[in-house]
Structures are given as structure tokens and as C-alpha cells.
Amino acid sequence: MKKIPLREQAIAWGFLSPALLVLLVFGIWPIAYALYISLHRWRIKQEAFIGVDHYVRALSDPALYNGFKVTFFYALGTIPAELVLSTGLACLLFKILRGKGFFRVLYFLPYITPVIASAVVFRTLFSPHPSSLANRFWGFWGFENQRWLYENKSVVALGLKALGFSTYPAWVDTFFPSLALVSVILYNIWVYVGYNTVILLAGLSAIPRQYYEAAEIDGANPWQSFCQITLPLISPTLFFLSTVAIIGTFKAFNHIYILRTPGARDTTDVLSVVIFDQIFQNHNAGYAAALAFILFIAILVLTLVQNRVLGRRVFYGD
Amino acid sequence: MATERQSSRGKRWLTYGGLGLCGVAAGLPFVWMVLASFMTEGETLRRVLLPEQVQWTNYALAWKEADFGLYFKNSLIIAVMQVGGTLLFSLMAAYPLARIPFRGREVVFVGILGTMMVPEMVTTVPNFLLINWLNRYSPIPWLNNWPALTIPFMASAFAIFLLRQFLRGIPGELWEAARMDGAGHLRFLFQIALPLCRAPLLTVGMFTFIGSWNSLAWPLLVTNTPEWRPISVGLQQFVSEAGPEVHLQMAGAVIATLPVLLVYFLIQKEFTEGISLSGLKA
């Protein structure tokens, strides 16, 4: 390797320094500080050093497990549905000649609408009121009115009830996601499908046309060319989107906080909401820091696992 | 032959049908928000579909009641500072990461990307304590003032990543030619590379703008007077105070949405171009 002149090195660090300073001070230093805080009793001010007590307490805290469970179902409900839907939409959009720009703008609309504004709209659309849009749609198919964002019963329990089973074991209600959480998931899908579609469309446009022509000559049907050409060639994009989505669902806060209702109880409280409550309701900064650290480690582990498992199946070309 | 043409026409209808259906789903809440913002309170309670008479006064009422003028001004100032700072600092940081093979480059790049994984909840409390400290010891106050709202957000890993992707694609001959003419890295970046980066810069700017416009928890934490509070906080308070007055809530929501919408329509083309970079291999 050629040796880089010292002057070049200095210039490089000079260019980097403003951004690095901001990221170090407000992005990396706080991690160390959070660890320090989590090892102390810390209400408004720093109190005694208590070692790993907060972490021990967290391990037997039902709120932590509930937070993990809700986050898990939230990720499970959003990420696969979003990726499948947006891949389908991007393929359709790719095919058409007229109106591409129009649909792209339309699909992107939910993403650029401020979260507060769209969440307020969803609160009204998914209200338990018999004439709310969600209930009207539901009623159109002959179903009973639901309480949507205000419902803490699980969707499985509601389904069993609708099928006529009046009794079911209690764990059906406590284990599965509530209808309120499913409503939040619908909101999330609504926001992100358009964003994913726009990025996937860019990935599709980069695939050389000749591949499809060659496949057609070989007698491949559309489904075969999709599986053999499209999917492998957009797999880097899908991988990128799923990485961003997994990190995103674990960090999600704003819209879940705004869509939270008293009726849903803790069934929509993802981990960040649990931590937020510890900071602002209980003013327990020390314990909140410990919970936040556990969340951070979970994100790290998940991203590494995803890189190992999915990363290998990504096709980067020759 | 005729049947083949028919089947392709049928396929086209199916394609547009699918796209249209999803389009309705994407646009419906938005359309409903606009419609409801023009209704009377009675109409929102009866859940009619269309307002009988367009109630422009809703906007005047919401604007006045919630002091949106002040919040609007605050949000705009905060957004402009955040976008300006992020663009400048991220472009400068992305340049050596893309084009100068200095020692430790990989480590720095991975470290920067790593900050994307840190949840806001980890950094909130330490940063709040840090801001308190800065508030006490720096020459200008940080709390209830613009520094706390803008400076921590002036560098973003995503922006650096996207701009680096683009800068890497600039042909080396361009740099060789510039160097022949006696230009250094600084001149090359700002006079030659910068004009080429229009699309990715506008894309990064748009994302920063959306993020700044959405931020809620942090502004609530570092301000305790309306003086510097942004529109997200204003709207949130207005919504919780307005109670059941859906028509006014929706008017407020439309007001808060308009600036983002306007900016998006203005730079739509570059945004589509720039966003395509984010999915490419690193």
C-alpha cells in the first residue's frame, strides 16, 4: 500500500472533526455516561453507587418482559408485511409507463406527514366510536364494532369470541398482541410501505433489461423470473431495508407514545415507552438508564445475528 | 392475436387496480384530515363524509388558539439551522471517508454507522445532564435556547453514509484535473464536488427536515417556556387541550403538515434520485 502523506492525513481529520465532535459528544459519550448512571441510585441527582442492582431488579421486572414481548410482536407484525407489500408495489410500479410519478408521490405522502399530525388522524379513524372509519369498514363486512386503539384484549381472543367460543384459557389474552397493538402496527405499515417502495423501485430500475429478455427466451414465466432474477438482485436493498426496519422498531417511540390510550393499558408499551415512563413519570434516571442499556444490547445482538443469518444470503453480484 | 392483446389489457387493468387500491389506502387518512379540517363540530360528530360548507374559519381559530405563529417560526428556525449544519458537517466528513485513504478510515466509518443503533432513550438522560452543564458553563445559555435544539443534531450517520456513497462515484480524473490546476481538497470539495451533489444533498436535507419537524420528546425536555418550542410540541399540546374538537385538531394537523409537503413537492425529483443511493451496496 502506498504511504499517505502526513498532510493528507491531517486534511482528512480536519474535514472529519466537526461531525466527529458532535457525534462523540452527543452520540458516543452519552453511552458511557448512561452506563455510569445505571450503576448508581439516581433520582434527580446522583446518589449512592449500587453496582448492578438496577440490572438485577430489571431481570425480575414484568414491565421489561412485557416491553420485549410487545416490541417483538410489533417487529413481527410490521417488518415482513412491509417488505412483502412494498416489493409487490415496487414491481407493479416498475411495470407501468404512465402515472409512475403520481403513485410515487402518493405512496410517499404518509412518510412525510408529520408523525403528530398523522397519529392524531389515526386516533380518530381507529376510535371505538361506532361511526369511526375503522368500524364502518369493519361493519361493511358484517363484523361487530371494535374498540381498536382502546382494546387491550388480544386479537386471538377476539377472534375466538367472534367464532362463538365464550371461554378460553387466560394466557390467550396475555400472550398474543392486543387489538390496540395491531392498530399501531397498521399505522406503522401505512407510514413505511411507501418509503420502502420508493427505495425498492430505485433498486429495480438498476436491473439490466437483458436479463429478463434472456429469461423470456428460455421460456421462464413471470414468477420464475421474479424468483430467479428480481429477488436476488434486489436482495441487497431488501437487506438494507430490513436492517433499518429492525433497528427502527426497537427505537420506535413517537407514534406509539401518541397512539397510546388508557384502554389499551400496557399492551402497546414497547421498551422505549417503558423507559420514557421511568424517566418522566417515576423520575428514576438510574433505573431508566439500566433498561435503556438492556435495549441497546438487544439491538446490537439482533443486528449482529441478522448480519450473520441474512447477510450471507444477500447476492452482491460477481 | 386478439386474445393476447386482451389479456395484456386485462393485466394492465389489474396492475393499475392494485396500485390504485393501495393509493387509496395511502391517501385516505390524508384526504380525511383535510376534509375534516373544513367541517363544523357538528359535522365531525355526525361523521359526515363531506362538509356542507367549507369552514375556513377553523384555520383562523386553530392558528389563534394554539399560537401556531410562534411555534411555526421556532420550527422553521430550528429546521434551517439543523439542515444547514447537518449538510455542511456531513459533507465535510463524507469527503475524506470516500476519497482520502487516511489511516483508521474503516474504524471511523464503522464507528459512525454504529451511532445509528443507539436508541434515543439511552442518550436522552446523559445528554440532558450534559446540556444542563453546558448551560451553566458556556457563554450562551443552552436551555430554552436554540443550541440545545440544534447543535446535538448537526451530524447524522445516515447523511454521512449517503453522501459518502455519492462522493465515491465521482471519477478520479476529475480530481486529477483539479489538482493539476492547483486546487486542494477544500477547493475540490466545494467548487467541483458540491455542485454535483445536488440530489443527495437535497435528499439528506429533506430527511433532516422531516426529523427536525417531528422531534417531540427532546424539545419538551430542554424547553419549559413556549419561547423556543417547535410546532410538534405546540400541536401535541393543542390536541390534548382541544379535547373532542376534531375539526380544530385537523386544521392544526394540516397547518403543521403544509411546510413539509411544500418542500417535498419542490424537490421531489432530486429526492427520488438521491434516495436510490441509500439501497446500494456499501
Chain A residues within 8 A of B213 when measuring between CB atoms = 114
pLDDT digits (tens, 9 = 90+) for B5-47: 667 788 888 889 999 999 999 999 999 999 999 998 888 877 7
Residue B279: pLDDT band with limits 50, 70, 90: low
Cβ distance A92 to B19 less than 8 Å, yes or no, reads yes
Q: Is A24 on the interface with B (CB under 8 A)?
A: no
Radius of gyration of chain A measured on its C-alpha atoms: 24
Residues A315 and B101: their CA atoms lie apart, in Å, by: 27
Q: Is B194 on the interface with A (CB under 8 A)?
A: no
Residues B27 and B44: their CA atoms lie apart, in Å, by: 19
Delineate the domains of chain A, giving CATH numbers in brackets.
55-294 (1.10.3720.10)
Residues A122 and A254: their CA atoms lie apart, in Å, by: 14
Residues A258 and B41: their CA atoms lie apart, in Å, by: 23
Biggest CA–CA distance in chain B, Å, is 82
**Residue B281 scores a pLDDT above 50:** no
pLDDT at B282: 40
Smallest CA-to-CA distance from B65 within B189, B280, B241 is with B241
pTM of the predicted structure, to 2 decimals: 0.90
pLDDT at A316: 67
Chain A residues within 8 A of B157 when measuring between CB atoms = 23
Task: Quote the minimal CA–CA distance from A6 to chain B in Å.
Answer: 9
Residues A80 and A101: their CA atoms lie apart, in Å, by: 26
Is there a contact between A204 and A267 (Cβ–Cβ < 8 Å)? no
pLDDT digits (tens, 9 = 90+) for A8-28: 899 999 999 999 999 999 999
pLDDT at B5: 62
pLDDT at B112: 93
Q: Is A306 on the interface with B (CB under 8 A)?
A: no
Q: Which residues of chain A carry a pLDDT beneath 70? A: 1-2, 316-318
**Residue B65 scores a pLDDT above 90:** no
The answer for residues whose C-beta is within 8 angstroms of residue A307's C-beta and 6 or more apart is A243
Chain B residues within 8 A of A285 when measuring between CB atoms = 125
Amino acid at B132: N
Closest partner CB to A15 (pick from B46, B96, B121): B96
Residue A116 cell numbers, joined: 403528530
How, if at all, do strands A46-49 and A40-42 pair? Answer: antiparallel
pLDDT digits (tens, 9 = 90+) for B241-251: 766 688 888 99
pLDDT at B280: 53
Residues B219 and B196: their CA atoms lie apart, in Å, by: 35
pLDDT at A36: 95
Residue A186 cell numbers, joined: 397498521
**Residue B1 scores a pLDDT above 50:** no
pLDDT at A56: 95
Q: What rounded mean pLDDT belongs to chain B?
A: 88
Average pLDDT over residues B148-165: 92
**A window 266-285, beta carbon within 8 A of B:** 271-272, 275-276, 279, 285
pLDDT digits (tens, 9 = 90+) for B94-141: 999 999 989 899 999 999 988 988 888 899 889 999 999 999 999 999
Q: Is B243 on the interface with A (CB under 8 A)?
A: no
ipTM reported for the complex, 2 dp: 0.87
Closest partner CB to A33 (pick from B121, B126, B254): B126
pLDDT at A5: 85
**What are φ and ψ of residue A314, in 5° steps?**
-80, 135
SS3 per-residue string spanning chain A: CCCCCHHHHHHHHHHHHHHHHHHHHHHHHHHHHHHHHHCEEECCCEEEECCCHHHHHHHCCHHHHHHHHHHHHHHHHHHHHHHHHHHHHHHHHHHCCCCHHHHHHHHHHHHHCCHHHHHHHHHHHCCCCCCCHHHHHHHHCCCCCCCHHHCCCEHHHHHHHHCCCCCCCCHHHHHCCEHHHHHHHHHHHHHHHHHHHHHHHHHHHCCCHHHHHHHHHCCCCHHHHHHHHHHHHHHHHHHHHHHHHHHHHHHCCHHHHHHCCCCCCCCCCCHHHHHHHHHHCCCCHHHHHHHHHHHHHHHHHHHHHHHHHCHHHCCCCC
Torsion sign, CA atoms A238, A244, A250, A255: negative
**What are φ and ψ of residue B262, in 5° steps?**
-60, -50
Chain A residues within 8 A of B267 when measuring between CB atoms = none
Task: Quote the minimal CA–CA distance from B260 to chain A in Å.
Answer: 7
Chain A residues within 8 A of B15 when measuring between CB atoms = 92, 95-96
What spatial distance separates the first Cα and last Cα of chain B, rounded to whole Å?
47
Smallest CA-to-CA distance from A249 within A308, A312, A187 is with A187
Cβ distance A16 to B92 less than 8 Å, yes or no, reads yes
Residue B273: pLDDT band with limits 50, 70, 90: confident
Is there a contact between A256 and B120 (Cβ–Cβ < 8 Å)? no
pLDDT at B120: 86
**Residue B81 scores a pLDDT above 50:** yes
DSSP one-letter code for B199: H
Domain B64-275 belongs in CATH node 1.10.3720.10: yes
The residue ranges of every structural domain in chain B are 64-275
Average pLDDT over residues B224-233: 90
Average pLDDT over residues B276-281: 59
